[in-house]
């Protein structure tokens, strides 16, 4: 190889190396990617129902729980762990109204054990609770449970008083309690009740007590499904007793 060709190759090599370094110097520096973590939302531990509670059903330690609740959505009525309340404090409390699973427990919806007025708490405002002694024959064989609806039948006569006569004097009356049970127990298919407590308006309570003193009262269990067309009130009379649909005058 002659000297001139080697000189050309050397110049080309030097030019190539120079171009490479020039290109590297002119390349933009790699950008640094900054990862921003989202701000952690502040929460407060709030007491909520771990199951659905019907009106009159008792709460328990195993049926409520603490959950993290967004502080910005916190209501003053919520029961918080920071407030010093323990789940044991609510053992035996009774639901005033329906509480669904996951719903925060608030004082306005419960009656705590030891407070007066457990029955008064589950009564509809303006209504009265009246108790009737029953037997399996007069209470649908023990299948009447708290929360059911019943008709009240009044029987008079019989034996020396002539042929017995039975009339329905109240319809669709709400059952508040059977014995001292305010809510249906999940494992109970029926309750052998000695007493049944019913809900009446003040005037209907008077008529019920009058009928109770003048004959035999029986309870007929109603279906949970309301048939169509049975919406209007209907009144019948038997002496001074008025027959009322839905247990209201």
What's the pLDDT tens digit per position in 60-78? 889 999 999 999 989 999 9
pLDDT band, very low/low/confident/very high, at 161 (cuts 50, 70, 90)? low
Can you give the pLDDT at residue 113?
64
Whether domain 43-118 has CATH 3.40.250.10: no
pLDDT > 90? residue 94: no
Q: Which residue has the tokens 């009044």?
A: 154
Can you give the pLDDT at residue 146?
84
Can you give the pLDDT at residue 144?
85
pLDDT > 80? residue 165: yes
Cα distance from N-terminal residue to C-terminal residue, the chain: 125
Measured in degrees and rounded to the nearest 5, phi and psi for residue 162 equal 95, -170
In the chain, % of residues over pLDDT 90: 31
Can you give the pLDDT at residue 248?
44
pLDDT band, very low/low/confident/very high, at 180 (cuts 50, 70, 90)? confident
**In 3-state terms, what secondary structure has residue 159?**
helix
Measured in degrees and rounded to the nearest 5, phi and psi for residue 199 equal -110, 125
Q: How many C-beta atoms surround the C-beta of residue 220 within 10 A?
A: 15
Domain segments of the chain as ranges = 43-118, 123-247
Chain segment 183-212, per-residue pLDDT in tens: 655 555 556 668 899 999 999 999 999 999
- Identify the CA nearest to 119 among candidates 86, 142, 149, 96: 96
Chain segment 44-58, per-residue pLDDT in tens: 999 999 999 887 788
Instruction: Tell which wins on pLDDT, 39 or 147.
Output: 147
The conformation of residue 161, written as its DSSP 8-state character, comes to G
Can you give the pLDDT at residue 98?
87
Chain segment 127-144, per-residue pLDDT in tens: 999 999 887 766 666 688
């Amino acid at each position: 190889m002659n000297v001139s060709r080697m000189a050309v190759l050397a110049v080309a090599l030097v030019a190539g190396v120079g171009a490479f370094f020039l290109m590297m110097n002119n390349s933009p520096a790699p950008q640094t990617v900054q990862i921003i973590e989202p701000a952690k939302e502040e929460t407060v531990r709030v007491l909520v129902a771990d199951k659905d509670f019907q009106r009159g059903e008792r709460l328990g330690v195993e049926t409520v729980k603490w959950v993290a609740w967004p502080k910005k959505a916190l209501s003053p009525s919520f029961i918080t762990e920071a407030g010093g309340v323990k789940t044991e404090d609510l053992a035996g409390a009774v639901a005033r109204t329906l509480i669904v699973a996951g719903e925060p427990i608030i004082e306005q919806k419960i009656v705590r054990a030891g407070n007066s007025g457990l029955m008064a708490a589950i009564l509809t405002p303006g209504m009265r609770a009246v108790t009737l002694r029953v037997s399996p024959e007069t209470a649908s064989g023990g299948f009447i449970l708290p929360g059911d609806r019943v008709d009240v039948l009044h029987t008079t006569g019989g034996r020396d008083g002539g042929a017995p006569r039975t009339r329905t004097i109240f319809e669709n009356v709400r059952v508040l309690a059977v014995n001292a049970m305010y809510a249906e127990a999940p494992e109970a298919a029926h309750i052998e009740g000695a007493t049944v407590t019913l809900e009446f308006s003040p005037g209907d309570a008077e008529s019920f007590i009058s009928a109770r003193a003048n004959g035999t009262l029986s309870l007929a269990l109603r279906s949970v499904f309301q048939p169509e067309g049975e919406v209007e009130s209907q009144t019948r009379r038997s002496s001074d007793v008025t027959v009322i649909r839905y247990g209201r005058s």
